[in-house]
């Protein structure tokens, strides 16, 4: 697979869209059952939930399987 010049890929496009219009563009925040680390904030890097709730949500098809 060929790579293009720096600043022309999908990550750069995503970054520019997020900066240009944060009212219309955003990113999903994943859920995890692991403990929160000191530098992390709830709802910023992850949504921290219990393992039981995570497993229940998986069983109830609440997460996309891509």
pLDDT at 12: 86
| Three-class SS of 1-66 | CCCCCCCCCHHHHHHHHHHHCCCCCCCCCCEECCCCCCCCCECCCEEECCHHHHHHHHHCCCCCCC
CA contacts within 13 A on the Cβ side of 44? 7
pTM over 0.85: no
Domains in the chain: boundaries? 29-66
Determine the pLDDT at residue 9. Answer: 80
Q: Give residue 63's pLDDT.
A: 86
Contact yes or no for 56/50 (Cβ under 8 A): no
Average confidence (pLDDT) per 10 residues, the chain, 66 residues: 67 89 90 94 94 95 82
């Amino acid at each position: 697979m060929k790579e293009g010049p720096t600043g022309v890929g999908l990550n750069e496009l995503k970054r520019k869209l997020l900066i240009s219009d944060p009212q219309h563009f955003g990113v999903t925040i994943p859920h995890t059952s692991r403990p929160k680390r000191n530098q992390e904030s709830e709802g910023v890097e992850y949504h921290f939930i219990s393992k039981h709730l995570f497993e229940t949500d998986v069983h109830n098809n609440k997460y996309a399987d891509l």
